[in-house]
Amino acid sequence: MELRPLGRTGVKVSSLCLGCMMFGGRTAPADSAGIIDRALDAGINFLDTADVYSRGKSEEATGEALKRNGKRNQVILATKVHGDMGLAHDPNAGGNSRRHIIEQCEASLRRLQVDHIDLYQIHRPQSDIPIDETLRALDDLTRSGKVRYIGTSTFAAWQLLESLWVSKELGLNRFVCEQPPYNLLDRRIERELLPMARTYGVAIIPWSPLGGGLLTGKYTRNEPPPEDSRFAAYQSNPMQRRRMNDRIFDVVEGLQPLAEAKGVTLSQFALAWCMQQPGVTSPIIGPRTMDQLEDNLKAIDITFSEEDLRAIDHVIRPGQMVSPFYEGDFGPHAHRTF
């Protein structure tokens, strides 16, 4: 497993990041622990979760697994804050305010059973809270030792650049990484975010490199989705209905022969492509089962020639999108620039 610098920091992370979103929810704690152990044995040293995943159960399952195997100090442990944790009638239960960030950091530390978080990320931008308030809270957590590094998720290029300017102006710790959606169905970050990140030394940790499962080959044109799949009830989910459209099958059907020519699965092909894009540090995989993890791990052995990359670009052009993974993430008042 290749190790790559986490942006401008002195930390190195594996070229795949184990996403723990399913742990403690659809994946039982015991199975979650087994997946974590296998991932660590395979050379993954980067684990990512969030407080809102299964309302804290993901953090609990991840923390318990690391306590049991005694390997907490061998991993870069990342979690996120922003979402409403379900406190009824509390107008401040969520967002990027100082109050919420400090409160939820303490809660995450308890659930993870650790004394510090290696990477603490703002899960979504929030236009009605000044970024300096958010950064001052994170800076205090960093200076106290409860957080080592800070990052963002699903920020636009201009929002991330604004934060770097504010950090410089106020002498605050800066964001070291960004988690954007990036896959062969939505390549929009190639327009501005990736070039900006490479210029300023920001690590890119893509989420949904398999398009939420749309790039695994399990979904086919004119066939209903598998009953146990994420998109099984997509017709009743507006976001999923926008993502599951005829244009994705043009891409999937164009990529499938390219994957078959290499003797790999479509999911391995799509993940390897994301992992090898310039500026990408560590795509986040989100296995629900051990079999899915094993399939994902095989992506590290796939290489692409210039001819391969041209063929992929012919199927889905650079900077283009056929399935929207940013849609609705920034709220009604934000400007989306990728």
Greater model confidence, 337 or 204: 204
- How many Å separate Cα 245 from the centre of its chain? 23
Q: Which amino acid is at 244?
A: M
Report the CATH number that the domain containing residue 178 is assigned in CATH: 3.20.20.100
Indicate whether 133 belongs to any domain. Answer: yes
Q: What is the pLDDT of residue 338?
A: 53
The count of structural domains within the chain is 1
At 247-279, the pLDDT tens digits run 999 999 999 999 999 999 999 999 999 999 999
Residue 24 has pLDDT above 90, yes or no: yes
What percent of the chain is helix, strand and coil (3-state, nearest 5)? Answer: 45, 15, 40
Mean pLDDT of 172-178: 98
Indicate whether 320 belongs to any domain. Answer: no
Active site residues: 53
Q: What is the pLDDT of residue 88?
A: 58
Residue 200 has pLDDT above 50, yes or no: yes
Indicate whether 337 belongs to any domain. Answer: no
The pLDDT-based confidence of 44 (bands split at 50, 70, 90) is very high
Distance CA 49, CA 58 (A): 7
> What is the residue range of 277's domain?
3-315
pTM score, whole prediction: 0.93
Indicate whether 36 belongs to any domain. Answer: yes
Beta bridge partners of 150: 120, 175
Angle at alpha carbon of residue 90, lines to 118 and 102, rounded to 5°: 25
Indicate whether 234 belongs to any domain. Answer: yes
**Backbone region of residue 95 per phi and psi (left: phi > 0; alpha: psi in -120 to 50; beta: other values):** left
Contact call for residues 77 and 108 (beta carbons, < 8 A): no
Beta bridge partners of 204: 178, 280
Indicate whether 333 belongs to any domain. Answer: no
Residue 45 has pLDDT above 50, yes or no: yes
Mean pLDDT of 282-307: 97
At 152-172, the pLDDT tens digits run 999 999 999 999 999 999 999
Q: Which amino acid is at 13?
A: V
Indicate whether 322 belongs to any domain. Answer: no
Indicate whether 237 belongs to any domain. Answer: yes
